[in-house]
Amino acid sequence: ESVVNRIAAGEVIQRPVSAVKELVENSLDADSSSISVVVKDGGLKLIQVSDDGHGIRRDDLPILCERHTTSKLTKYEDLFSLSSMGFRGEALASMTYVAHVTVTTITKGQIHGYRVSYRDGVMENEPKACAAVKGTQIMVENLFYNMTARRKTLQNSADDYGKIVDLLSRMAIHHNNVSFSCRKHGAVKADVHSAVSPSRLDSIRSVYGVSVAKNLMKVEVSSCDPSGCTFDMEGFISNSNYVAKKTILVLFINDRLVECSALKRAIEIVYAATLPKASKPFVYMSIILPREHVDINIHPTKKEVSLLNQEIIIEMIQSEVEVKLRNAND
């Protein structure tokens, strides 16, 4: 049974960055306004996520890492129906099958917090009272310690750390009302350091720098079509002065960081046609649409989504981007 659990867990948590994404999404779900991440050895030795959210109640700790423990939902179909981003309560449980997980947490109004470690879905000990300030800190140590082959394929810690920095940079743009930091264990300097920003453009400036932010134009599409295609998109796209080697598309759908390769390709096509010299754009888009129009058609942990009316939505975005680029060119 434990082998089966471990293999299933290895599917949910594919690399260190997948663990970080799940932990940070939990922190966002907990209404945190500050989230900091510390990483050692590309995440294989240590991933530590600390937040100032609402914390976890003492009574919930025994079942915290059981599979399908979730305070929020039960149905897979409901994935996008909630303002929160969790699904199926599998993330923390999975981590305990492939790593050593320690939780320190305090809820509002308590004078002390609790600390408890988990292994294979269960608590290793009764929660111990401890000092704590506010919120939750989760430490994931020795990731994939029991999956030798996986560990071997993840030997390039710089690569995995880069993926984590990239993830947090993207999240920091969208959640401009939350401050994020990410650093290597023992490092003084943070590699992601975003304060709470008054706007998305400010957060883009603070994360990606002035040189990116100054070359961005706002785009918006709003479609209300009762026969089916209803969505709102707002975002920023780079102009002809922004020249880069590869396209960056930071895409949030219903406040969830996802990937949509069809949209990415469609945007690249417009740029290639209108701004051939700047054909690898920087694009941030946030799309909001009715929850039942979003489908994660493959595994729930995969970030690739497909949308109902996807072709129409992509075409509308494409033509809006094209108008913006042409106007800017004139």
Q: Is 225 exposed, middle or buried (0-12, 13-18, 19+ CB in 10 A)?
A: exposed
Contact 309, 293 (CB under 8 A): yes
- For the record, the structure tokens of 96 come out as 């305990």
Piece of the chain touching ligand ADP by CB under 6 A; list 53-61, 214-222, 240-248, 288-296: 53-61
Q: Residue from 64, 79, 237, 317 that binds ligand ADP (CB under 6 A)?
A: 64
Min CB(182)–ligand ADP separation in Å: 16
Q: Does 70 bind ligand ADP (CB under 6 A)?
A: yes
E strand map for the chain: 34-40, 46-51, 100-106, 113-119, 122-123, 128-130, 135-141, 179-184, 192-194, 216-223, 231-238, 248-253, 256-258, 282-288, 294-295, 306-307
Round to whole Å and give the CA distance between 129 and 131: 7
Q: Residue from 18, 136, 197, 206 that binds ligand ADP (CB under 6 A)?
A: 136
Q: Does 53 bind Mg ion (CB under 5 A)?
A: no
Contact 56, 103 (CB under 8 A): yes
Question: Angle at CA 219, nearest 5°, toward 216 and 222?
Answer: 165
Q: Residue from 15, 17, 19, 26 that binds Mg ion (CB under 5 A)?
A: 26
Q: Taking CB under 6 A as the criterion, which residues in 9-38 touch ligand ADP?
A: 22, 26-27, 30
The residue (of 66 and 202) whose beta carbon lies closer to ligand ADP is 66
Q: Does 256 bind ligand ADP (CB under 6 A)?
A: no
Q: Taking CB under 6 A as the criterion, which residues in 76-115 touch ligand ADP?
A: 86-93
Contact 177, 199 (CB under 8 A): no
Round to whole Å and give the CA distance between 178 and 155: 32
The residue (of 105 and 176) whose beta carbon lies closer to ligand ADP is 105
Q: Does 127 bind ligand ADP (CB under 6 A)?
A: no
Say how many residues touch ligand ADP, by CB under 6 A: 23
The residue (of 88 and 200) whose beta carbon lies closer to Mg ion is 88
Contact 283, 236 (CB under 8 A): yes
Q: Does 20 bind Mg ion (CB under 5 A)?
A: no
Positive or negative: CA dihedral 193, 198, 204, 209:
negative
Q: Taking CB under 5 A as the criterion, which residues in 70-129 touch Mg ion?
A: 86, 91
Min CB(22)–ligand ADP separation in Å: 5
Interface residue list for ligand ADP (CB under 6 A): 22, 26-27, 30, 51, 53-56, 64, 69-72, 86-93, 136
